[in-house]
A and B are shown apart, each in its own frame.
Chain A
Amino acid sequence: KQEVTQIPAALSVPEGENLVLNCSFTDSAIYNLQWFRQDPGKGLTSLLLIQSSQREQTSGRLNASLDKSSGRSTLYIAASQPGDSATYLCAAPEGSARQLTFGSGTQLTVLP
């Protein structure tokens, strides 16, 4: 059974800083890995999806990497802004239903 871990649980940085969020998973035979953003009390917004054959995926100021051999993915946020403040979750699909197994998230605060 897949287990997904995110460290740290919370992170606070000044505006403009580049930062890295970490995600680790136990089963390296993953189909893909997805990063989500969740604002307080809201649903999930998909940010990036990395297929198992890819090593990186980029969208604007976001870059996600995937290293299956080490069981790790990172989300890099460049030039952080206060509007980036949210909880960031990573998730990997498992089972025939491809249901997602989530980490517990990293709560990011970008200070103006």
Chain B
Amino acid sequence: DTGVSQDPRHKITKRGQNVTFRCDPISEHNRLYWYRQTLGQGPEFLTYFQNEAQLEKSRLLSDRFSAERPKGSFSTLEIQRTEQGDSAMYLCASSSPGLQYFGPGTRLTVL
């Protein structure tokens, strides 16, 4: 059990570009969550998967955001046409259910 991993750890992009983040959950966990955290705030829920099904989406998840979890394993979060307001830490968590275990996060900076 190596914990939840996320890649990349840091991403710098220019406004208007597309970016994709990856999350590898703990292997036996069927639940996967994405959160977004801005400076000085707690994380905010974005979306939830149970196995490969995306069952919950926050109103924060605009049309420019899309998430997938093919085969119920790893998950990707894509942001299209990035805006400066997308700059944040993107956190992934998994559970079996029960306690949510968090990854180290991907820090996105949009210039």
Interface residues of A (CB under 8 A from B): 4, 34, 36, 41-46, 49, 89, 91, 95-105
A-B contact count (CB 8 A): 62
Cβ-defined contact, A99 with B33, below 8 A: yes
Instruction: Specify the chain B residue showing the minimal Cβ separation from A91.
Output: B42
In contact, A46 and B42 (Cβ under 8 angstroms): no
Complex Cα distance A54/B51, Å?
A: 30
Q: Chain A interface: which of B62-70, B71-79, B96-104? A: B96-104
Closest chain B CB from A51 CB (angstroms):
10
The complex places the Cα of A52 from the Cα of B50 at a distance, in Å, of 24
Q: Which residue of chain A has the shortest Cβ distance to B46 in the bound complex?
A: A99
Report whether over half of chain A's contact residues are helix, strand or loop; otherwise say mixed. Answer: strand
The reply to whether A100 and B105 form a contact with Cβ atoms under 8 Å apart is: no
CB closest residue in chain A, given B48:
A97
Q: How far is the CA of A42 from the CA of B102 in the complex (A)?
A: 10
**Distance between Cα atoms of A104 and B44 in the complex (Å):** 10
In the assembled complex, the Cα of A22 lies from the Cα of B42 at a distance in Å of 15
In the bound complex, what is the Cα–Cα distance between A53 and B6 (angstroms)?
34
CA distance A2 to B71 in the complex (A): 32
Q: Of the candidates A42, A45, A99, A105, which one forms a contact with B42 in the assembled complex, judged by CB atoms under 8 Å apart?
A: A105
Q: Which of B6, B56, B105 contacts A96 (CB 8 A)?
A: B56
Task: Give the residue of A95, A100, A104 whose beta carbon is less than 8 angstroms from that of B56.
Answer: A95
Q: Tell me the bound Cα distance from A99 to B42 in angstroms.
A: 13
Q: List 28 A-B contacts (CB under 8 A).
A: A4-B42, A34-B99, A36-B102, A42-B104, A43-B6, A43-B103, A45-B102, A46-B100, A46-B101, A49-B99, A89-B42, A89-B43, A96-B56, A97-B31, A97-B55, A97-B56, A99-B45, A99-B58, A100-B43, A100-B45, A100-B93, A101-B45, A102-B44, A103-B42, A104-B40, A104-B42, A105-B40, A105-B42
